[in-house]
Structure 1
């Protein structure tokens, strides 16, 4: 062991008459530990929120949609075949959507009605299970006078209906002479995406039933596609649209939800900067500890220099002590962050209002890269805080120490 590290270890164990410096050392270590722990937990929650929201969004929406300039387009069967043969596109399904009113015996509310093809929608939309798709498919093929509809769970609760009950679907100005069109639908099932706004304001019916009530015959609003790489959805959808012709264009899930994910990313960055101030305060404590130690060790520094110690060796002694404090604090904070994150992930004792947030509990996702960035940033701040005290100790003149010591 080099003598710099040996002396640094001795300085870490403070004598009884220097209890005050020892207390500041303990507080500095605790400050670094608390800062690192809080940063890991908060960043894990922010990462978990982003990951969970992305997962739920991709469960209720497609990876990308292919649209046509000018609105709806017909003869979409050939377009579907071309899209399914496009490289990196794994599935495609047509859809049509409109805004309608749903009325039950106890309530009335506005919803987004999406017409889907039950035979292919399950390959793109994951929030609808096979039971709901089969129920829609059965009502569509049986030719029943009352078509089927699948409601979001929160929407069904709001309307006070359950599977087997009927609701009235109202399309304002959708019929002859601009009079509202009213049709009866039977609730065949409900779905739950985990996103309150979707579960409260969305309903599904078969594509043919929606086309019939909208009187659009064989037209659709667009085609939803699923790709093999969600992070290349924009590139793939653009290439697929270009292969169909200049009148088509693509929009991926990141562009459709840009505001939400941009806000989450900004919040994550801001929280990291704010919480880094805790570590910065602890770094100031480390610097003050080392400065007071330099003032109390002038005699030792003079003796070491008289014995041939270089300025570099003196700097290493005090940098080593400061980094020892920072490393121990970072290690304790990392362990504490992992433990607290694991507790929050396993035991959901913090409940959030579902009509305000996207989640009812705190989502936690520890990402290795985030932990590495936090640890390295903390160690870098601690290292910078040691430079001035170490430099001051190295530049101390041993003659003055002997003269006034």
Structure 2
């Protein structure tokens, strides 16, 4: 052990005359630990909430979507075969979008119609896991009236349930001398789903491709878009770029990040703001470190003078108090990291805090610990506490032996 470390550790040990200084050192350690713990817990909860929201958004939406402006995709089967052979693409399914008015008795509402292929849509969308009643394959039943799947909130607004009949009025009708006559399609409610997102559950309805073609006015086997599921959802943008390069510029390719970039950019900005705000707790704790070290310097003024008169260099005196502050900072950081991980583990395991399901897209407080967040928090905490030791260390190095020992 070097001379500087030996002296700094001796100064950290409590003596009768230094109990108050030692108490301030303990408070400084606890202050850093509380700040680090708060940062880790809040960032983990925020990351869990962001990923939970992401999973809800892309649960019934594809990771990547291929559109063709104008006439749409005339041969979706061929394009599906091409893109499924690309690296990173797991599956593809055709899709049709449309707007309509849905009515049931005296109740009505606007609805976003989505035409899907019941046989392979489950390979791309997580709709099956969101179903409260009914199965995805039921949409393929053509023995009677076509079926429609409604969101739970929309079904509640229309006062309908499984087996009830509804009517869809599409604006894509026939042009007559009296104006445009809307297309009318009667459907049977074959399933109800709940995604946890009010925007989706109150506005979306799923039908099969043939029903969607009749409502939208698409001839033959054409569709408006092709939806893709990728192997790694976080790399959907790179897969979309590869698909775009392969199929050419006549197609519009968008991944889920582009489709929701405003929302996730806002969430990312909020996470940075929370990090800066909670980092102030560590900054406050570092002020305690400064006060503790300044009082140690005042207490050890004569000791410093004796060390310097015995040949200790200015740099050695600075390192003594730098090591002392570093021990406080690193100890508080390690204690805070351990406490933060422990609290996150408890919240994740026992689901202590429940959230109202009608407000949030998840029922319990989501927690996801990211190693990168832990590393950044620890580094920031150590950096702040080390910076806090610079002034007291410099102050100690400026002590003049002749002034400190004049009246001894």
Q: Compute the TM-score of the two structures, normalised by the length of structure 2.
A: 0.91
Kept in 2, the 8 Å contact 1:106–1:160? The answer is no
Paired position in structure 2 for 1:97:
97
C-alpha distance in structure 2 between counterparts of 1:7 and 1:241, whole Å: 65
Are 2:362 and 1:363 equivalent residues in the alignment?
Answer: no
Kept in 2, the 8 Å contact 1:115–1:205? The answer is yes
Paired position in structure 2 for 1:203:
205
Report how far residue 210 of structure 1 moved.
1.1
Paired position in structure 2 for 1:194:
196
Helix, strand or coil at the partner of 1:93 = strand
Shift of the 378–106 alpha-carbon distance from structure 1 to 2, 3 Å rule, reads farther
Higher helix share: 1
C-alpha distance in structure 2 between counterparts of 1:375 and 1:73, whole Å: 52
Paired position in structure 1 for 2:8:
8
Calculate the aligned-residue CA RMSD, in Å.
Answer: 2.3
Deviations 1:43-69 (A, max 9, x none): 101111222222222321111111113
C-alpha distance in structure 2 between counterparts of 1:224 and 1:315, whole Å: 63
Are 2:173 and 1:170 equivalent residues in the alignment?
Answer: no
Helix, strand or coil at the partner of 1:108 = strand
Deviates more, 1:209-218 or 1:289-298: 209-218
Helix, strand or coil at the partner of 2:112 = strand
Helix, strand or coil at the partner of 1:179 = strand
Paired position in structure 2 for 1:388:
391
Paired position in structure 2 for 1:300:
303
Paired position in structure 1 for 2:23:
23
Report how far residue 401 of structure 1 moved.
1.1
Are 2:50 and 1:55 equivalent residues in the alignment?
Answer: no
Deviates more, 1:342-351 or 1:34-43: 342-351
C-alpha distance in structure 2 between counterparts of 1:236 and 1:12, whole Å: 56
Paired position in structure 1 for 2:150:
151
Deviates more, 1:6-15 or 1:256-265: 6-15
Report how far residue 192 of structure 1 moved.
2.7
Deviates more, 1:153-162 or 1:281-290: 153-162
Paired position in structure 2 for 1:287:
290
Paired position in structure 1 for 2:227:
224
Report how far residue 255 of structure 1 moved.
0.3
Paired position in structure 1 for 2:348:
345
C-alpha distance in structure 2 between counterparts of 1:349 and 1:108, whole Å: 40
Q: 1:310 aligns with which of 313, 319, 339?
A: 313
Q: Compute the TM-score of the two structures, normalised by the length of structure 1.
A: 0.91
Shift of the 396–335 alpha-carbon distance from structure 1 to 2, 3 Å rule, reads same
Helix, strand or coil at the partner of 1:403 = coil
C-alpha distance in structure 1 between counterparts of 2:219 and 2:128, whole Å: 25
Kept in 2, the 8 Å contact 1:118–1:136? The answer is yes
Gaps of 5+ in 1: none
Kept in 2, the 8 Å contact 1:316–1:390? The answer is yes
Report how far residue 273 of structure 1 moved.
0.9
Helix, strand or coil at the partner of 2:385 = helix
Paired position in structure 2 for 1:274:
277
Deviates more, 1:269-278 or 1:327-336: 327-336
Report how far residue 25 of structure 1 moved.
1.8
Shift of the 103–349 alpha-carbon distance from structure 1 to 2, 3 Å rule, reads farther
Deviates more, 1:328-337 or 1:273-282: 328-337
Paired position in structure 2 for 1:73:
73
Deviates more, 1:213-222 or 1:127-136: 127-136
C-alpha distance in structure 2 between counterparts of 1:147 and 1:13, whole Å: 81
Kept in 2, the 8 Å contact 1:132–1:190? The answer is no
Q: 1:260 aligns with which of 246, 260, 263?
A: 263
Helix, strand or coil at the partner of 2:135 = helix
Helix, strand or coil at the partner of 2:227 = strand
Gaps of 5+ in 2: none
Kept in 1, the 8 Å contact 2:56–2:361? The answer is no
Deviations 1:167-224 (A, max 9, x none): 2223246355423333221111222333332222211100111112333223321111
Deviations 1:282-309 (A, max 9, x none): 1111011111110111111112223332
Kept in 2, the 8 Å contact 1:234–1:250? The answer is no
How many residue pairs get matched? 401
Report how far residue 274 of structure 1 moved.
1.1
Deviates more, 1:259-268 or 1:152-161: 152-161
Deviates more, 1:324-333 or 1:174-183: 174-183
